[in-house]
Chains A and B, each alone.
Chain A
């Protein structure tokens, strides 16, 4: 990322705004000038051809210079960044503005996911004071999944799906969200096996349907963002992970889609806050957990959970869909004992009515 940003920024700007790409994100430092002018100037710079796509999904660390920034300024900036699928993560040199920002982030998440208790995630979430410079709150991190409608709400909602953990935490600490519950954060992150999921749902009143993981979130799913209209693939993440890959607690740059370029084998787990694309098979005994959709360019035979944070509109597609177990949002289904050979080029599973159905895919929209 540093390199790419470096390139995008190679052409220094003759303005009072300076940019620097770092590991944490994009540093934007504001110089002299009226706020509105700076904002416009910033928009122009961010929209420069070629630069725009490099910045998509970036987290912004802001240096305000000597200016005092209030809620309305912050909102303007957040909105402007959200239009470009960027997020303001930290205000570096103005503790007061940073406080305001942290509150905004916390409350936005609190709204989006009142008391979601995702799998074992809270254990490593940074303290709410994570608004500190060193580690910006995870909540602000993976916003690019939000469609570009642009309002601040869209950005933070998008982020919420990625970081329900810290949402839980911060709302619990601010005492603002009733019934915020701490996840039994006992299971180690490296083993997000389905076994860990029911424990997250423990204590919830079971519903009539099979109480899949996160069944307690059923009623809250409305607050989750709709699945993105398209898959933003400008900066898909390519991982060649070790045995298992789990970025569900990651505080790093998390772009919307994770591309896994080989087969997921027995004993391996792939877990991601957004959509997962697998170019290979998912073998029996493998586990794939995505908060977004799951696409498998190959045979799907392991266990897969799409919409793992409770999104029942998530889909699972594969060239051959024969999972040992399939979970979408709060629904759960097992493979039929016998399957006839399908003739369609691919298959897709989604929730219709109150159950998971498997349909041939013969072209067209997913």
Chain B
């Protein structure tokens, strides 16, 4: 086995990296693939919460890197879905910010690569949840990546940051990343009040691999530690399942959201920009 390493990153914070990582992990595992989700957001870990595995953590990524634990000891297996494992980030919630920074710097790209090399032997996919920003944590997250997915919301600030990340990936000579457009609201797009997919793609000029609609189910799913991809009935759950299929190379078209906006509205929006 030699896993494919996929890093999920964004530049801007809070756009849905962790949600995406968790749901892709679940969707791929439900297809029978072995998946290891790695929380590279050291100091602000929450992938464990979203996956509902928080209370089973004993060791974390930093413990492994610093030799206090073996990889196998730190990996948390999901009992609901044995194909899914989590390598949690170090927790510093109750410590001060200085510690957090130190912790972030405790891990470097090389260590991250080595860690992934070990992990590669045991799984089909390694999904790395990147922290926001372009600092060390981001560099660690993309260093081992074979493929990078960029998450953005249809907001100008998020798109700008995504653009910046794309530039950095180019500079790092990574393969061109793919885009996930998250939290799209069909009604707002229809009114011409939200950037639409073509608008975003025109700016970023990279391939779109999925669109995830704004969905309240995601919030309750997060609270329950049960990602929406577990039961593919919600609109966002379906979107994540399709996203996973596309990662597997299946040709699944991106369905239009409800109905597409009237041409006139889009034209009006272009003028307003």
Contacts and interface: CB of A to CB of B under 8 A. Distances in A.
A262 B161 CA distance: 18
Contacts of B164: 265-268, 285
A266 B167 CA distance: 7
Given A242-B171, A243-B168, A285 B205 contact: no
A250 interface: no
Given A284-B160, A284-B163, 5 more contacts: A242-B171, A264-B167, A266-B167, A267-B163, A338-B272
Contacts of B254: none
Nearest to B166: A265
Contacts of A263: 205
A302 B271 CA distance: 17
Q: Contact residue range for chain A?
A: 10 to 19
A243 B167 contact: yes
Contacts of B166: 265
- Nearest first, the 9 A-B pairs at minimum CB distance are A265-B167, A267-B164, A266-B163, A242-B171, A266-B164, A243-B171, A265-B163, A266-B160, A268-B167
Contacts of A243: 167-168, 171
Contacts of B170: 262, 265
B203 interface: yes
A253 interface: no
Contacts of B160: 266, 284-285
B171 A283 contact: no
A242 B167 CA distance: 9
Contacts of A281: 205
16 contacts: A242-B171, A243-B171, A265-B166, A266-B160, A266-B161, A266-B163, A266-B167, A267-B167, A267-B168, A268-B164, A281-B205, A283-B203, A284-B160, A284-B203, A285-B160, A285-B164
Q: Please indicate which of the listed interface residues B167, B171, B203, B272 has the most CB atoms of chain A within 10 Å of its own CB.
A: B167
Interface size class of B (residues with CB under 8 A): 10 to 19
A339 B271 CA distance: 7
Interface of B: 160-161, 163-164, 166-168, 170-171, 203, 205, 271-272
Contacts of B203: 283-284
A285 B167 CA distance: 12
B271 A283 contact: no
Contacts of A338: 271-272
A8 to B, nearest CB: 32
A285 B161 CA distance: 9
A241 to B, nearest CB: 8
A268 B203 CA distance: 15
Nearest to A338: B271
A130 B161 CA distance: 42
A267 to B, nearest CB: 4
Contacts of A268: 164, 167
A285 B163 contact: yes
B20 to A, nearest CB: 21
Which of A241, A262, A265, A338 has most chain B Cβ within 10 Å? Answer: A265
A186 to B, nearest CB: 23
A266 B152 CA distance: 15
Nearest to B271: A338
A14 to B, nearest CB: 47
Nearest to A262: B170
A281 to B, nearest CB: 7
B166 to A, nearest CB: 6
A321 to B, nearest CB: 15
Nearest to A284: B160
A61 B160 CA distance: 47
